[in-house]
Structure 1
Amino acid sequence: MFSLIYGLWKYLFSKAEFHVLILGIDKAGKTVIYHLIFSCGNKSFLCMLLHLTLLEKLKALYSNLEGLPPDRILPTVGLNIGRVELSNTKLVFWDLGGQPGLRSIWEKYYEEAHAVVYVIDASCPSRFEDSKSALEKILRHEDLQGAPLLILANKQVK
């Protein structure tokens, strides 16, 4: 009887949880993106982002948000975790460090990931090849086959 009630309770009130990896090579701006998502502390902001076109999303991310300036955000060693609850969904963002020595731990998170945000430093063409190589390795991994991928070209000159 208890399991029936528990199952009904869980069905009615639990929220689906989705894990989103934020990946990219070092200094691409992953942690800046992570902080922008969470800096306003407003769930409706993220909700709004989920319903906009990609161009509108990027404009919204970079306009009028308070938080740490990008030059004060330190490189991630390990990971940053952020959670957002929407009406019937929990989003868990994992911002993983992009230094060469830390990239080997990325695959430990692939199995539980539902989506990937890959960040590229668009202002540094000399690092495109390294970024491309890291992205290709991600795309080849069997645990991420079929997972949605969003590629963000960060640090674009206005």
Structure 2
Amino acid sequence: PNGGRSYYLNRSQPPLLSDMVMHIFGAEGDRRWLAATLPSLEDEYKYWMDPVRSDHVVRITLDGKQHTLNRYCADTSSPRPESYAEDVETTSRAATPADRSAIHCHIASAAESGWDFSSRWMPPHQAEFDLSATATALFIPCDLNA
């Protein structure tokens, strides 16, 4: 999860746990400790790679070959509890309830990425930074898929 509060359970942070585990194992060499980390590593893998549980999975076909990639896509359509007033204000000009829900998802997804809030998640045609135009879940970031 993104943090220690229950409302963070629908979003993560960049998946770095396996890298951290390997750095510690490389320094310590403790195979029993490494084996004990396996359930947590499997949970993180499922969080990012299970298409039934998660909207993080994107499948694309290129030159007849299917690829499985990831994106940031928080499982929410509501304002973030930690920034409720700001999110409600940001979405106040949305045309429809569906548009508001999508903006809430994109904002929470930006927070999940650790790049909150950056022009990185703006549509290419967006001249100025506007948080309500954040489109995080529409991007397939290369660093997340490296």
Short-chain TM bin: under 0.3
- The two structures have a TM-score, normalised by structure 1, of 0.21
Structure 1 or 2: more strand by fraction: 1
Structure 1 or 2: more helix by fraction: 2
- The two structures have a TM-score, normalised by structure 2, of 0.22
